[in-house]
Amino acid sequence: MRSADSGDLWWKNAVFYCADIETFYDWNGDGTGDIRGMTDRLEYLNDLGVTCLWLMPFYPTARKDDGYDITDFYGVDPRLGTLGDFVELVRTAKSKGIRVIVDFVMNHTSDAHPWFKSARRSKDDPYRDHYVWSATEPKSSPKDVVFPDQEDSNWELDRKTGEWYLHHFYKHQPDLNIENPKVQEEISRTLGFWLELGVSGFRVDAVPFLFAKDAVPGQIDVFDPFQYLGDIRNFITRRLGDAVLLGEVNVPYKEQKKFFGGADGDGLNMQFDFIGMQQIYLSMARGDARPIAKALRQRPTLDPTSQWANFIRNHDELTLDKLSDTERQEVFDAFGPDPDMQLYGRGLRRRLPPMLGGDERRMKMAYSLAFSLPGTPVLFYGEEIGMAENPEIPGRLAVRSPMQWTGGTNGGFSSAVKRRLTRPLPDGLYGPERVNAADQRRDHGSFWWFMRNLIYTYREQPEIGWSTVEILKQPNRAVLAHVCREESGWSMIALHNFGAEGCIVALELDAVAPGSVLVDLLDGRTEIELDKSGRVELDLGPYGYRWLRVLGPEEEPII
Ligand code: GLC
């Protein structure tokens, strides 16, 4: 076994796939996707090459934030199935070599959760301190608010008891008080419960909010959130040695470091690279690779057990909150000029293909880049077939329309009558008649096959996940040339062209051993020779991309 492919730190070179049970596949024909439907489609994911399935919330919910407003941490939304179905799903996935992680939302509960209902009965209620209360109205500035279209403060007055409760998200999602040992106990119990049912870890929702210290006026606070994050990590590792915590931490790189923990990595194992993702969009909008090159130079180097999660799109708005106002406007102008495509003044409620006018060259370049960077790629369902959003669905949910399986009725998602569908599918150019998994799997030139090939190429180079990145100098501004290197001596050069013009990229690879060749991993494994001093000229098409494994003179040929 190659050293980089060890199973303990499986997340270092996994392929994650995020899916929402509700919109994936409706097995019983009632219009809503279900756990049995998800189980039924595991073989599809297996064929695609996915090795870890991340399930969005499937717990009992008040249904005001697509399941992120939970009313019971220990159950399954009855519309989706039962705990028994869930265990079958995890068990079946495992038998196919697919791990399952689940969304862990414990920053807040729904206001319909029995704890909150009890807590708001009186100030002495036993559940009162499960939440964060203030006797006077705390200051809250509009810039603290996550959903400015609906909220103007992070605090809401509870009329009956005359105190304000904290809610970083909607007012129907009161924040839990994680300083309270009883809440901490519930957090451990919940994590332990799902681990016992077979999951391999958690995607931790809204981490900076979960671990934020919010000044309640008049309270002295000695709680150390990072120590508590370490406690959580220790707890889950005691229960399951190789469990993963993948955190949603959209903060600047420098601040991200502390969420990974100290030198011994006692925090999150993985974090999404929100900064890199936003810079990729800026680079695409400008046709200029320098923004992403700059971000990659600033990206912190991680300790060996930690990992970046690379992604192009997720289930939320495409957030551009870490760009400057003018940069964000550039991306808006390029990829979402219509105000209806924009959200909260910071993001776009679109998927990638329509943003790029359906130009497959650009779509492929973006995914090739995400897979070629040190880290672990995360796909959002439907990306593998180039699905678009359904703009008719309000807000962020536009990108969460049902999976398009076939060109038939309801895109093969459900046999229910259309009006009973949990969410409508898009019509027209990106509707299921034109974009669906069944047709693409039959056509080896399709986007699905491009993605499958990319996934397997990534999996065959497990060193990518363990590598560090360096940007190579070359004169073309539209091109990102980077090299990934791994301890064993393995290295791979990748080229990505953000521009519409083809070009020749001249590289000087003086660190490469004489007699090495470059093997084109994505294009027929052709071999390219370097001259004696390590110089090489490489063709790159418009929006082209290449992965070139450096094969030393002593190395076995790539099979
Ligand atoms: C995270 C989720 C988002 C959800 C929010 C509140 O940001 O990604 O979809 O609304 O947390 O739970």
Tens-place pLDDT, residues 71-89: 999 999 999 999 999 999 9
The CATH H-level (homologous superfamily) assignment of domain 468-551 is Golgi alpha-mannosidase II (2.60.40.1180)
- Mutation probe of ligand 1 site: the residue of 18, 277, 316 with most atoms within 8 A of C-beta: 316
- In tens, the pLDDT along 470-525 reads 999 999 999 999 999 999 999 999 999 999 999 999 999 988 888 999 999 999 99
Local structure of 94: helix, strand or coil: helix
- What's the topology of domain 114-166? Oligo-1,6-glucosidase; domain 2 (3.90.400)
CB crowding 338-349: b at 16 or more within 10 Å, else e: eeebbbbebbbb
Protein residue with its CA nearest to atom 4 in ligand 1? 68
281 pLDDT tier (thresholds 50, 70, 90): very high
Element at 492 (helix H, strand E):
strand 491-497
pLDDT per position as a tens digit, 160-175 = 999 999 999 999 999 9
Contacts of 208 (CB under 8 A, 6+ apart): 249, 250, 251, 259
Residue 481 has phi, psi (to 5 degrees) of -115, 115
Q: Is 206 in the pocket of ligand 1 (CB under 6 A)?
A: yes
Whether domain 12-105+181-459 has CATH 2.30.110.10: the reply is no
What token pair was written down for 99?
């791990």
pLDDT band at 2; cut points 50, 70, 90: low
pTM of the predicted structure, to 2 decimals: 0.97
> Which is more confidently placed, 533 or 200?
200
Tens of pLDDT along 425-458? Answer: 999 999 999 999 999 999 999 999 999 999 999 9
Q: Are 416 and 29 in contact (CB under 8 A)?
A: yes
Neighbour tally for 487: CB within 10 Å? 12
Tokens of 263: 């030198």
Q: Are 316 and 530 in contact (CB under 8 A)?
A: no
For the stretch 142-149, contacts whose Cβ atoms lie closer than 8 Å and that sit 24 or more positions apart, written own/partner, are 146/209, 146/344, 147/344, 148/344, 148/345, 149/343, 149/344, 149/395
In the chain, where the domains are located: 12-105+181-459, 114-166, 468-551
* Listed residue (278, 276, 207) closest to 248, CA to CA: 207
Q: What is the DSSP string of 371-425?
A: HHSSSEEEEETTGGGT----TTS-GGGGGGPPP---SSGGGGS-SS-GGGSSSPP
- To the query of whether residue 103 is one of the catalytic residues in this protein, the response is no
Cα–ligand 1 centroid distance for 107 (angstroms): 10
Distance from the alpha carbon of residue 65 to the mean position of ligand 1, in angstroms: 8
Ligand 1, closest atom to CA 169? 6
Cα–Cα distance, 9 to 202 (Å, whole number)? 15
Note whether 12-105+181-459 and 468-551 share their fold: no
Report the C-alpha gap between 558 and 265 in whole angstroms.
34
β-strand 52-55 against 16-19: which pairing, if any? parallel
205 CA distance to ligand 1 middle (Å): 6
Measure the CA–CA gap between 194 and 82, rounded to whole angstroms: 14
Q: Whose CA is nearest to atom 2 of ligand 1?
A: 205
Q: Residue whose CA is closest, atom 7 of ligand 1?
A: 206
